[in-house]
Amino acid sequence: MFSAPKPFIGQIGLIQRNALRSWQALGDEVEVLVFGDEPGIRRAADSIGAAHIPQVERSQVGTPLLDSIFGQAERRARHDILCYVNADVLLFPDLLAAVQRVSEHFSRYCLVGQRWDIDIKHELSSSELSEPDATTRLRAQSSLHRPMGSDYFVFPRGLFEQMPAFALGRAGWDNWMLYACRRRGAALVDATRAVTAIHQQHDYGHLPGGRPHYRHPESLANISLAGGVETVFRLRDATWRLTQDGIEPIRPWQRGWRRSLEAALIVRLGAGLPARFVRLLFHPVEAARYFWSRGGGGSEAVSPTPGDGTSDEQAARSHMVESETPNRSNPHEV
C-alpha cells in the first residue's frame, strides 16, 4: 500500500494518523510506503513501521506528481500487487479478501469502489480499528458517497507503469485510471459491495483559498494531460462487479446502452480527435456549446483538440462541479 499524505497538522493530521493505523492493523503481510517530505510525515511513518520515501517530483507550484509516486512504488514495493490509497481513508480486512478473490480470477485488473463518508473528531487506537466489529460499527455511522471518484486502486505491478505527470490532490487523474485500465485491456472491477473504504470528512483548508480541488487550474491541467474530457470515466464504466457472492460481469444494459456504447468507442479509439468527436456525438448540448464558442463553423469548429479552448474548459468544469453535488444516497443502501 502506498500514499502521499498532506502535512500532519491539526484535524487533517489526526485523520491521516487514523488511516495509517488502519493500514497497519491489516497485518505484517501488508507493506506500507509513505511518500513526501511534508511536516510530520517521517514521524507518522515511523510510528507504524512504514517505509518513508521523501523524494517526490513536484509541479511548478509544488504539488506532488503522481507519475513520480507510482513509479517509485513500482520499483520499491516488495509485493506484485499494489494499492494506492488516499491518506484520509480507513481500510479493513475485507480489502485483502477482495484482492485475493479478484487475483484468482484475473491476472490484469484494477479494483476500485465507492467510499463511505464519516465525521471523526478523535484519534482511533490500533486496537479499536482491529476489533472484529470495527467495519460494521463504523459503516453504520457513515453514508455511502456518490460514485463520483475513487479513493483506492488495487492493481498488479506494471499495469500503470506509464502515466502522465498528474498533480496529486486535483481532479481528473482518478478518472483517467479507470479509462486507462479499460484501454489496456484489464478488468475494471467495482468492489463497492465487498470492500468498506471509509473516508474521514475534512475541509479544504490545506488548499489555496480553501477551495475544493475541482475548481483549481491544476485540475483542468490534469484533464488535458489525460487526453481530454472523454477520458473522465467513472465507476459506472466498470466491467465487473465483486459482491459477497462472487464476481459477475456488468452488462451493457446495466450501465445504460448509450453510455456503454460511448465508453466502448472511446476505449477502442483512445484519447484524441476521433474520441472527441464520439463524445460530441453523444452529448449534443456540449457539442452545441463547443461549436458556438468557435463561431458556429469554419476550420476551427471541426478541429477540436483536448485542452485547446473555452468549451473544453467548460466541459471539464461541468464534470468536476458535478462531483460536488451533496450526497443524497441512502446511507445503508449499496
Instruction: With CA atoms as reference, report the closest residue to 220 among 317, 310, 324, 148.
Output: 317
Cα angle 42-45-46, degrees, rounded to a multiple of 5: 85
Give the residue carrying C-alpha cell 460511448.
262
Give the domain ranges of the chain: 2-240
If you average pLDDT over residues 66-88, what whole number do you get?
Answer: 97
Please report the pLDDT score of residue 221 as a whole number. 94
Please report the pLDDT score of residue 291 as a whole number. 74
Backbone angles phi, psi at 161, to 5 degrees: -60, -35
227, pLDDT greater than 80: yes
322, pLDDT greater than 90: no
Question: What is the grid cell recorded at 68?
Answer: 513520480
If you average pLDDT over residues 276-302, what whole number do you get?
Answer: 72
Please report the pLDDT score of residue 321 as a whole number. 39
Write down the mean pLDDT value for the chain. 86
Contacts of 62 (CB under 8 A, 6+ apart): none
CATH of domain 2-240: 3.90.550.10
Look up residue 267 and give its amino acid.
V
Give the whole-number percent of the chain exceeding pLDDT 70: 83
Overall residue count recorded for the chain in this entry: 334
191, pLDDT greater than 70: yes
Do 117 and 142 meet the contact criterion of CB atoms below 8 Å apart?
Answer: yes
Question: What is the grid cell recorded at 243?
Answer: 459482491
